[in-house]
C-alpha cells in the first residue's frame, strides 16, 4: 500500500506542478512575453525545471514518511 500511495502522490504532484510551472514560465519568460531581460529568461527556465523535479519528489518523500508510522 505504501509504494502505491507514494507513486500516486508523486504522479499527482508532478501533473499539478508541471502544468502550473509551464504556464507561469511561458507567461514570464516566453518567447513573446517581454517581461524579463534576455539573460533572465534562462534563469527562469532553469528554475522552472528545478521546481518540476524537486517538488514532486518532496511530496512523495513526505507521503512515504507519513505512511511509515
Query: Can you give the pLDDT at residue 33?
Result: 74
Look up the pTM and report it: 0.84
CA of residue 67 relative to chain centroid, distance: 23
pLDDT of 10-68, one tens digit each? 999 999 999 999 999 888 887 777 778 888 888 999 999 999 999 999 999 999 999 99
Query: Can you give the pLDDT at residue 23?
Result: 92
Q: What confidence category does residue 69 fall into, taking pLDDT thresholds of 50, 70 and 90? A: confident
* For helices 2-29 and 38-66, angle between their N-to-C axes, nearest 10 degrees: 160
Rounded to the nearest 5 percent, the helix, strand and coil shares of the chain are 85, 0, 15
Residue 49: domain span: 2-66
Residue 36, sorted as left (phi over 0), alpha (psi -120 to 50) or beta, turns out to be beta
Query: Can you give the pLDDT at residue 56?
Result: 97
Q: Work out how many domains the chain is built from and give that number.
A: 1
Amino acid at each position: 500500500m505504501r509504494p502505491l500511495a507514494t507513486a500516486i502522490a508523486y504522479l499527482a504532484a508532478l501533473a499539478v506542478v508541471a502544468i502550473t510551472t509551464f504556464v507561469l514560465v511561458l507567461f514570464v519568460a516566453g518567447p513573446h512575453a517581454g517581461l524579463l531581460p534576455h539573460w533572465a529568461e534562462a534563469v527562469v527556465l532553469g528554475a522552472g525545471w528545478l521546481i518540476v523535479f524537486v517538488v514532486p519528489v518532496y511530496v512523495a518523500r513526505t507521503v512515504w514518511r507519513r505512511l511509515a508510522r
